Amino acid sequence: MDNVMNPPRRRPRPHPAPVAAAATLLVLIGLLATTTNATSDAKAASTSAVPVHNAFVLRQAIPGHVVAFGDLDGDKFTDIVVADATMKQLQVHAWRPKIKAFQSVPSSQITLPAPAAGVVTIDLDGDGLLDLLVTLRTDTNQPDDARYSIALHRGLGNLTYLAVDANPLASMALSEPTLLDYNGDMTADLLGVPHAESTSAMLWLTAPGPALRPYPAPDGMCMPAPKHANAFVDVNGDCKPDLFLTCADHSYQVWIAGDDGTWTLARHGSLPPNAGLVAFADMDANGSLDAVFPVCTANSCDLYVAWNRQMPTCSATTPAGTVCRPMTDLCSADPDFVLDFATPTIVPIPLAKTGSKMGRIRLGDYNLDRYPDVLFVADGKLYLLGNTPCVGAATTCASTRTFVLVAHAVDAGPGVTDAYWFDYGENGSFDIIVASEVDGRPVATIHENTFQNDAFFIKTLATGTTCTQDCQAHALNAIGSSFKFTVIDTTGAKKAMQSTQTYQTSSWAMQLPYAFSGLGRTNNYIEELAVGVSRRVAGNESATDRATFTGIIPNSQLVIYPRTAGANEQPWRMELFLNPTAYALNVLAVLLATIVVLGVVTAGLQWLEKREDERDKIFWI
């Protein structure tokens, strides 16, 4: 009998339930990630208009006056210099990462012969260690006859400093000195008034030793105001620092440095009556530094913004024929720039008390939205003004930006005398140091920024030393260095921004050694970063004073070493230190959950496939 072979039975398909379950799980994870991101977007959008109460939390209190910032021990963390109540004793408080707090260093203690009127951390002798340049005030009991002497306490390493002899580096009168690099050798020089009877300013150029050598100021340079806001800052957009002077006759001057070493008076004019100290920042995030200052009368105070009007950066929407600055050449100078003090934007300041007197304003981006905010103290009360778009009901705005009081952001308490921006723990957010007097004793309280906005930042520091080995070059900042960079926002628009480091040093400017900028929300790299320093070398300027880097990762700290000339010539180079975003753990958790689910689904499908194969084998047997 013939054997009749039955046709093989059709293999059943794997059960669709595991596949459907896996697909459902993947969709749920995707929706969870999308919902989390959308929620953070909505939160960022809402909190930029509706402030979060008590967003700044008290972390540490330090007795004394905070008088200067700098990475004094070379560990890439910013330390602080603290003075006692008499301002005659200085001591370094170093940041200790293990305990996440500042600790006083007894070996750093310095006793001064007179009260300090200013302290700057700077490498003046070029040995690769930060020194303390101290301005001492000699009391003459005459308000209009202030006398100052300049003393240098050289850094010896391990947070110890050399005591100075009886002879100061220089003596000045009437106003504090201004730090600038006048001759383009990447070493700070001084501008001031030699004595009370002087009719013109004078320069002191830094010579080896170090020593300060008197040098005549350019013809036409004005006498600095007794309390001034002179700035070594880029005004014409070429990324190289210029000199902005506030004069004794209540006017201002802008001096531009030429490649041949000469300085030219480019702009001058009058300041508004009762104008306060001027600060600079890119207030509208358009790639140029604007001037911001308060103006107070007997009844009210207003915030003035003198916009720096330069040629715009080129973009896809720039009309044909428009003169613009290419994104690939961000440091091209605009000789027709206008620093508009004549028609500034004026915003009333909502002070709690009529007739209040404002202290110095500090500019910093606390919510990382790209637009610097305003911090100041008036009549013992701390104020924070948020830089917000001028939309909606605010139809009378003269510009696209306005300033709104951030209510109850900092619980600073009574007796506040000043406030400064600071990045506590170098975590990429702008915190606040509040200076107060409690029972007649000075105290500085540090309030950490807990404002949650998943935006990005960039910290940049250009070094100002020529040493290449056995020095703390990453801690030494070149005054007035400027940074321009391009950012693509979430709408796909590419924009240019500008920041600057340590551009003011007098009148307790209290500026950090680096430039800190919020980038807002972005999904891309920083495509271009242009850097400019004050170096001038005849015949080779373009190779040594400016450079452009590409593909910079946001949420990073950059240390940039300018090219050095001469026998120890070194190329431009950059070090990058990353800081994770606030939602990095959330992203990691979603990624791990996705991997686990995919692994379970794959294993389940493999098991079903194996079971079906075994059934087929049994059937054929």
Q: Examine the domain organization and report whether 242 and 166 are in the same domain.
A: yes
Confidence check: pLDDT of 491 > 90: no
Contact of 331 with 238, CB cutoff 8 Å: yes
Q: Examine the domain organization and report whether 364 and 389 are in the same domain.
A: yes
What pLDDT shows up at residue 581?
57
Q: Examine the domain organization and report whether 493 and 437 are in the same domain.
A: no
Domain end point (choices 399, 415, 449) = 449
Strands 242-246 and 170-173 turn out to be unpaired
The pLDDT confidence band at residue 44, using thresholds 50, 70 and 90, is very low
Distance (Å, rounded) from C-alpha 276 to C-alpha 46?
33
- Percent of the chain at pLDDT exceeding 90: 50
> Angle 375-378-384 (CA atoms, 0-180°, nearest 5)?
25
Q: Averaged over 292-314, what is the pLDDT?
A: 92
The pLDDT confidence band at residue 22, using thresholds 50, 70 and 90, is very low
Give strand pairing partners of 192.
Answer: 202
* Mean pLDDT for all residues in the chain: 84
Which domain, by its residues, includes 516?
456-578
| Residue written as token pair 């949420």 | 555
What pLDDT shows up at residue 16?
45
Q: Examine the domain organization and report whether 60 and 103 are in the same domain.
A: yes
Q: Examine the domain organization and report whether 203 and 88 are in the same domain.
A: yes
Confidence check: pLDDT of 33 > 50: no
Weakest mean pLDDT among 89-98, 181-190, 214-223, 384-393: 384-393
Q: Examine the domain organization and report whether 439 and 557 are in the same domain.
A: no
Residue 129 sits in a domain whose CATH number is 2.130.10.10
Q: Averaged over 404-420, what is the pLDDT?
A: 87
By residue count, the chain amounts to 621
Number of structural domains (the chain) is 2
What pLDDT shows up at residue 580?
61
Does 95 reside within a domain? Answer: yes
Exposed/middle/buried for residue 10 (C-beta within 10 Å: 0-12, 13-18, 19+)? exposed
- Whole-structure pTM value: 0.85
What pLDDT shows up at residue 53?
55
Does 392 reside within a domain? Answer: yes
Distance (Å, rounded) from C-alpha 153 to C-alpha 160?
9
Q: Examine the domain organization and report whether 272 and 366 are in the same domain.
A: yes
Burial 459-480 (b: 16+ CB within 10 A, else e): bbbbbbbbbeeebbbbbbbbbb
Exposed/middle/buried for residue 493 (C-beta within 10 Å: 0-12, 13-18, 19+)? exposed
Does 18 reside within a domain? Answer: no
Contact of 132 with 153, CB cutoff 8 Å: yes
The pLDDT confidence band at residue 144, using thresholds 50, 70 and 90, is low
Residues 6 or more apart whose Cβ sits within 8 Å of residue 534: 180, 181, 184, 186, 232, 240, 241, 257, 478, 479, 480, 481, 545
Distance (Å, rounded) from C-alpha 416 to C-alpha 438?
9
3-state secondary structure of 477: strand
| Residue written as token pair 């400016």 | 546
What pLDDT shows up at residue 43?
38
Residues 6 or more apart whose Cβ sits within 8 Å of residue 470: 128
What pLDDT shows up at residue 37?
41
Does 615 reside within a domain? Answer: no
The pLDDT confidence band at residue 620, using thresholds 50, 70 and 90, is low
- Percent of the chain at pLDDT exceeding 70: 84
The pLDDT confidence band at residue 394, using thresholds 50, 70 and 90, is very low
Q: Examine the domain organization and report whether 258 and 276 are in the same domain.
A: yes
Contact of 428 with 151, CB cutoff 8 Å: no
Most confident of the following: 19-28, 61-70, 193-202, 528-537: 61-70
Q: Examine the domain organization and report whether 152 and 176 are in the same domain.
A: yes
More confident site: 162 or 49? 162
How does DSSP assign 90-159, residue by residue? EEEEEEETTTTEEEE-GGG-EE-SS-EEEEEEE-SSSSSS-EEEEEEEEP-S-TT--EEEEEEE-EEETT
Give strand pairing partners of 433.
Answer: 420, 446
> Angle 418-423-426 (CA atoms, 0-180°, nearest 5)?
160
Question: What's the token pair of residue 363?
Answer: 């500019």
What pLDDT shows up at residue 170?
85
Burial 517-527 (b: 16+ CB within 10 A, else e): bbbbbbeeebe
Does 194 reside within a domain? Answer: yes
Does 364 reside within a domain? Answer: yes
Q: Phi/psi at 320 (nearest 5 deg)?
A: -60, 140
Q: Examine the domain organization and report whether 105 and 210 are in the same domain.
A: yes
The pLDDT confidence band at residue 26, using thresholds 50, 70 and 90, is very low
Domain end point (choices 399, 419, 449) = 449
Does 78 reside within a domain? Answer: yes
Q: Examine the domain organization and report whether 469 and 505 are in the same domain.
A: yes
What pLDDT shows up at residue 12?
44
Does 440 reside within a domain? Answer: yes
More confident site: 539 or 530? 530
Q: Examine the domain organization and report whether 94 and 119 are in the same domain.
A: yes
Distance (Å, rounded) from C-alpha 72 to C-alpha 94?
8
What pLDDT shows up at residue 25?
45
Strands of 381-389's sheet in order across: 362-364, 373-378, 381-389, 401-405
Residue 554 sits in a domain whose CATH number is 2.60.40
Domain end point (choices 548, 563, 578) = 578
Distance (Å, rounded) from C-alpha 198 to C-alpha 146?
13
Weakest mean pLDDT among 14-28, 73-87, 229-243, 593-607: 14-28
What confidence tens digit (pLDDT) does each residue in 344-364 have? 999 999 887 777 788 999 999
